[in-house]
Amino acid sequence: MKDTRILFIDHHEEILTSLELQLQDEAFLKIFADNAKDALEIISTQDVHVIVCDLMVNGIDGLALLQLIKKQYPHIIRLAFCNEKNLLQIIQSINNTDIFR
Please report how many Cα atoms fall inside a 13 Å half-sphere around the Cα of residue 71, on the Cβ side: 6
Full-prediction pTM beyond 0.85?
Answer: no
**Residue 63 pLDDT grade (very low, low, confident, very high; cuts 50, 70, 90):** confident
With 70 as the cut, is the pLDDT of residue 101 above it?
no
**9-62 per-position pLDDT tens digit:** 999 899 899 999 999 999 999 999 999 999 999 999 999 999 999 888 887 888
Judging by DSSP bridges, how do beta strands 50-54 and 77-81 pair with one another? parallel
CB 35 within 8 A of CB 22: no
Q: How high is the pLDDT of residue 61?
A: 84
How long a stretch of residues is the chain? 101
Q: How far apart, in whole angstroms, are the C-alpha atoms of residue 5 and residue 9?
A: 13
- Mean pLDDT, residues 80-95 taken together: 65
